[in-house]
């Protein structure tokens, strides 16, 4: 990462980089604190200066997620430092097991548990790389998604398998000379809760069998660019939270699912051109005006500042229609969604309109598309969209204003993100 051989102490790295820019000040600081680094400072600076583009030597490799750095260390056959086991709580019937790099997903065979939420999987996390020391010289949230490495893996598993997963604290640690491991109980993260219900807003998430074999897709994270990995991680975390809220606060689930799509759509859109080109596409009149100004820098500054936020609704619809999945394998006899480009675009525009009203005006998503879908005996699947107008909670909606049920949008969101992920992985594997 530094472009030189690793230094023994993290403080040495900090001092060396700072000496490039203000040597006298930091030499005095080092002497004052008696840091054991002075003897190495001069030679380290010279090595940095001899590197190509030495002033950016500490940025030669972009940071990435800890689970990726640990995986890379595993592939390099670094020494195993320790192993932790984390419970993955779920309400689904999980089948099979999966082992990807230094991570193993162990099935606890808990499908007959009387509990709604049980420890369905144990994540065995083998650590081959120590955590990096933080740099407190500036704020850096470039990788932030609100979770720990085990929670990253739980979120990815939730997205890939299509079920609710939530990581708990470590319950067993294997250290040096401890082949049996030591049980642990940290209790920092409580077991997630699901309200009891006879009908589900997302029936496919909890019902049926859900194999873990698809987790091999995680291997593609090693070949993807860092921004794509970060975008997918944030999308997975949002999707994960959306599922856990679906049965108690479905209005928030709608918002989180839209946001999960936007997290990936924003990164996908950046690959379509520069910020100036995106500004020209979304706001041609503004682009033309700025292009005619005497100061050529104004166009670039405006594009960098606002280019990504313009045309957000169109970006959302374009992404969904680009990676639109095939219709669900099981569909109802009646109340089917019109699965074609026109019907999908109209529905997605309506969904995004409701999203904007919810965020900016405080108007929740319509109640009829936040409850359990209709289902009749003999139907292969529940209804995909309301086929009639509904009066509920003092408000009235026509069927044309009720684009689809929540469970169908969850299918569109999850499958669309996975289709984008697989296409991106394929292009980088072949490239």
114: tokens are 């009387």
How far is Cα 243 from Cα 188, in angstroms, rounded to an integer?
22
In degrees and rounded to multiples of 5, residue 125 shows phi and psi of -105, 110
The mean pLDDT value for 321-325 works out to 93
- Rounded to the nearest 5 degrees, what angle is found at the Cα of 424, between the Cα atoms of 217 and 324? 90
Beta strands 209-211 and 103-107 are: unpaired
Residue 325 per-residue DSSP state: P
State yes or no: pLDDT of 179 exceeds 50: yes
Residue 186 per-residue DSSP state: -
Q: Where are the domains of the chain?
A: 10-59, 66-216, 268-413
How far is Cα 80 from Cα 58, in angstroms, rounded to an integer?
27
Beta bridge partners of 291: none
Residue among 69, 182, 162 nearest 407 (CA): 162
% the chain with pLDDT above 90: 59
Residue 431's pLDDT band, with cuts at 50, 70 and 90, is low
Write down the residue that tokens 């890939």 correspond to.
160
- 8 Å CB contact between 265 and 224: no
Reported pTM: 0.79
How far is Cα 129 from Cα 152, in angstroms, rounded to an integer?
17
pLDDT digits (tens, 9 = 90+) for 234-290: 999 999 999 999 999 999 999 999 999 999 999 998 766 677 876 776 677 888 888
Beta strands 82-90 and 166-167 are: antiparallel
How far is Cα 176 from Cα 296, in angstroms, rounded to an integer?
62
Averaged pLDDT of the chain: 83
- 8 Å CB contact between 398 and 389: yes
State yes or no: pLDDT of 387 exceeds 60: yes
How far is Cα 67 from Cα 75, in angstroms, rounded to an integer?
12
pLDDT digits (tens, 9 = 90+) for 340-357: 999 999 999 999 999 999
Residue 37's pLDDT band, with cuts at 50, 70 and 90, is very low
pLDDT digits (tens, 9 = 90+) for 44-80: 434 433 333 323 233 334 588 999 999 999 999 999 9
From first CA to last CA, the distance across the chain in angstroms is: 24
| pLDDT for res 24 | 37
Beta bridge partners of 391: 396
């Amino acid at each position: 990462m530094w472009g030189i051989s690793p230094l023994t102490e993290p403080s040495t790295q900090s001092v060396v980089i700072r000496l490039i820019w203000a040597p006298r000040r930091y030499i005095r600081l080092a002497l004052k604190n008696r840091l054991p680094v002075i003897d190495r400072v001069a030679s380290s600076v010279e090595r940095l200066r001899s590197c190509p583009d030495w002033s950016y030597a500490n940025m030669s490799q972009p940071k990435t997620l800890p689970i990726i750095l640990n995986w890379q260390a595993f592939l390099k056959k670094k020494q195993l430092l320790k192993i932790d086991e984390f419970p993955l709580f779920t309400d689904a019937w999980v089948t099979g097991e999966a082992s990807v790099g230094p991570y193993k997903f162990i099935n606890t065979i808990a499908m007959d548990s009387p509990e709604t939420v049980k420890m369905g999987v144990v994540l065995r996390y083998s650590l081959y790389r120590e955590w990096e020391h933080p740099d407190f010289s500036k704020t850096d949230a470039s990788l932030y998604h609100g979770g720990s490495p085990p929670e990253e893996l739980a979120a990815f598993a939730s997205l890939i398998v299509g079920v609710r997963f939530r990581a708990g604290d470590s319950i067993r640690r294997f250290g040096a000379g401890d082949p049996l491991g030591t049980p642990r109980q940290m209790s920092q993260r409580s077991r997630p809760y699901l309200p009891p219900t006879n009908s589900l807003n997302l029936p496919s998430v909890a019902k049926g069998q859900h194999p873990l074999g698809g987790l091999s897709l995680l291997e593609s994270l090693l070949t993807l660019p860092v921004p794509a990995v970060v975008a997918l991680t944030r999308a997975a975390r949002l999707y994960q939270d959306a599922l856990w809220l679906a049965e108690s606060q479905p209005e928030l689930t709608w918002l989180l699912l839209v946001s999960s799509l936007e997290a990936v759509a924003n990164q996908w859109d950046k690959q379509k051109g520069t910020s100036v080109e995106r500004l020209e596409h979304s706001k041609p009149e503004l682009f033309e005006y700025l292009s005619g100004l005497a100061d050529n820098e104004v166009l670039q500054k405006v594009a960098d500042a606002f280019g990504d936020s313009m045309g957000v609704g169109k970006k959302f619809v374009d992404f969904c229609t680009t990676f639109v999945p095939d219709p669900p394998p099981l569909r109802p006899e009646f109340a089917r969604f019109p699965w074609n480009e026109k019907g999908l675009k109209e529905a997605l525009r309506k969904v995004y309109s409701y999203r904007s009203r919810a965020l900016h005006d405080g108007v929740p998503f319509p109640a009829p598309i936040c409850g359990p879908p209709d289902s009749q005996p003999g139907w292969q699947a529940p209804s995909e969209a309301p086929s009639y107008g509904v009066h509920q909670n003092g408000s009235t909606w026509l069927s044309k204003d009720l684009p689809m049920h929540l469970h169908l949008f969850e299918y569109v969101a999850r499958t669309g993100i996975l289709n984008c992920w697989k296409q991106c992985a394929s292009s980088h594997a072949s490239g």
